[in-house]
Amino acid sequence: MSTTKQDLLRLGLELLLKHGYTDLGVATLLERAGVPKGSFYHHFGSKESFGLQAIDLYMEGVHAALDAAFAGDETEPLEQIRLFFTIVSAGYKGEGYLGCLLGGLGQELSGISPAFRKKVEACFTVIARRFEKALTRARDQDQLRAGVDPRELAELLVNCWEGAALRSRLRRNASPLDQMLDFYFAAVTP
């Protein structure tokens, strides 16, 4: 990937978090990046293509956090899940509690762009499947309440986190995120 394209995506990711997709002006992005207009369309073809590729870049960070949290089997699976959210929450704090790009773009664009709706849902599914694996291990180790379904718990965890991420953005602090995790783990463990 060219340096110009990487620079546009990194800066665009920051602007998408702050302003959303609709308010992200290509001209503003190019001006801030110091590149000519033709460079944008050479690398992306359209604003939609740019936004979808920005999601891919965002997911690189999500995958890195998932890999860091779920590395090795020496840590209990529920602690691995909590570690993932600790990593993510620290990232939110560093960005000024702007929340989750996936949640923000999903809310903004899912009703008007099938491409964004499919992309964001696919990303959430990838995250949920990683949680499901850990929750299955937790169930097999009798760390979950009897009769719970790891897949359903994984989907619920993504749903709850996204709501808490929105509330965290509104309040500009981590308390909704922490409260949600404490409630979730209290509800699913024996």
Q: What pLDDT sits at residue 172?
A: 93
Residue 110 DSSP class: T
Measured distance CA(134)–CA(131) in Å, rounded: 5
The long-range contacts involving 160-168, CB below 8 angstroms and separated by at least 24 positions, are: 160/184, 161/85, 161/100, 162/100, 162/102, 162/103, 162/106, 162/124, 165/92, 165/99, 165/100, 165/103, 166/99, 166/103, 166/107, 168/92, 168/97, 168/99
Q: What pLDDT sits at residue 72?
A: 83
Reported pTM: 0.93
The reply to whether 95 falls in a domain is yes
Q: What pLDDT sits at residue 1?
A: 60
Q: What pLDDT sits at residue 13?
A: 94
Measured distance CA(153)–CA(162) in Å, rounded: 14
The reply to whether 61 falls in a domain is yes
Q: How many domains does the chain have?
A: 1
The domain containing residue 79 runs over which residues?
Answer: 52-188
The reply to whether 35 falls in a domain is no
Measured distance CA(27)–CA(35) in Å, rounded: 10
Please say whether the beta carbons of 123 and 143 come within 8 A. Answer: no
Please say whether the beta carbons of 168 and 160 come within 8 A. Answer: no
> Measuring CA to CA, how many Å separate 104 from each of 165, 171, 180, 186?
9, 15, 18, 28
Residues 6+ apart with CB under 8 A from 133: 70
The reply to whether 176 falls in a domain is yes
Place of tokens 């460079």: 39
Measured distance CA(144)–CA(186) in Å, rounded: 10
pLDDT along the chain (190 residues), means of 10: 87 94 93 88 93 97 97 91 96 91 95 96 98 97 95 98 94 95 96
Measured distance CA(141)–CA(144) in Å, rounded: 8
Q: What pLDDT sits at residue 74?
A: 86
The reply to whether 22 falls in a domain is no
The reply to whether 74 falls in a domain is yes
Q: What pLDDT sits at residue 145?
A: 94
The reply to whether 68 falls in a domain is yes
CATH number (domain holding residue 121): 1.10.357.10
The reply to whether 99 falls in a domain is yes
